[in-house]
Amino acid sequence: MLLPDKALLSALLHRYRAWECLADAEPRDPHTRRRRDDLAYTLCVLMGCRTPQEAVAEAEAYLGAARPPSSRSF
């Protein structure tokens, strides 16, 4: 599988997280949701994943920026 450029992937991941925060703050704004969804789709395609959560995890692992597991228990 071809892997994306790390600088491009890092920028997309940063933009996705920013739009995700905006979508959480304004869940009824269609423009915000559309931008977040477009970036999620792009991450999914680049990382070969079906869900944004999987794509973000794969991107973080590929970039070497995976977060340590949360100590919170559910």
12-28 confidence digits (pLDDT tens): 999 999 999 999 999 99
Torsion angle, CA of 70/54/10/3, rounded to 10 degrees?
Answer: 130
d(CA 50, CA 38): 14
pLDDT tens digit sequence for 31-43: 999 999 999 999 9
Structure tokens of 16? Answer: 């996705």
pTM, to two decimals: 0.80
What's the pLDDT at 2? 81
